[in-house]
């Protein structure tokens, strides 16, 4: 649209690029695939998490530490943390991309949220390891 609201065409792309579709995919497939892989991984891991939480209902710290010190529980919790936070980072990125139109704000938002998610993931992993060892 021009400044008077009448339709006009301003295409800054090659005809070939336009005919082929919506532009370079860059890392789009990686994002989509990563979301699916972590989703599949989270199917058994989240069920394990539910069972573990039921086992730890009302537990004191000693019982929780003993639980996390079991090798399978340590490993499963670390797998859960990795898959969960990666899945979360990819999901939140899509939500921000959908609703924040301003490019600078969008990038700042994604970086801030992904930074927070990375921080929380590391805090969880270190806490599990500290309980385990």
Residues engaged in binding other proteins (CB under 8 A)? 1, 6-13, 18, 36, 39-40, 42-43, 46, 50, 54-55, 57-61, 64-65, 68, 84-85, 88, 91-92, 95, 101, 117, 120, 123-124, 126-128, 130-131
* Nearest to 81, CA basis, from 35, 34, 45: 45
How crowded is residue 71: how many other Cβ atoms within 10 Å of its Cβ? 8
Q: Which is nearer to other proteins, 37 or 108 (CB)?
A: 37
Q: At what angle do helices 61-69 and 71-99 cross, to 10 degrees?
A: 100
Cβ proximity to other proteins: between 7 and 71 the closer is 7
H helix runs in the chain, sequence order: 15-20, 28-55, 61-69, 71-99, 103-132
Report the alpha-carbon distance of residue 85 to residue 80 in Å, rounded. 8
Q: How far is the CB of 27 from other proteins (least distance, A)?
A: 19
Give least dist CB 70 to other proteins, A: 15
Of 91, 110, 98, 95, whose CA–CA distance to 38 is shortest? 91
Q: Minimum Å distance from CB 57 to other proteins?
A: 5
Closer CB to other proteins, residue 26 or residue 60?
Answer: 60
Cβ 43 to other proteins shortest distance, Å: 7
Residue whose CB is less far from other proteins, 110 or 117: 117
């Amino acid at each position: 649209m021009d400044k008077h609201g009448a339709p006009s065409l301003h295409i800054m792309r090659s005809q070939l690029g336009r005919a082929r579709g919506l532009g370079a995919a860059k890392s789009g497939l990686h994002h989509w695939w990563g979301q699916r892989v972590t989703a599949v991984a989270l199917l058994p891991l989240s069920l394990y998490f539910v069972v573990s939480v039921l086992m730890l209902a009302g537990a004191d710290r000693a019982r929780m530490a003993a639980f996390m010190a079991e090798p399978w529980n340590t490993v499963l919790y670390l797998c859960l943390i990795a898959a969960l936070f990666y899945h979360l980072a990819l999901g939140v990125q899509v939500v921000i991309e959908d609703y924040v139109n301003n490019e600078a704000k969008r990038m700042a938002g994604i970086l801030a949220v992904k930074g927070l998610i990375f921080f929380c993931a590391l805090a969880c992993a270190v806490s599990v390891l500290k309980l385990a060892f």
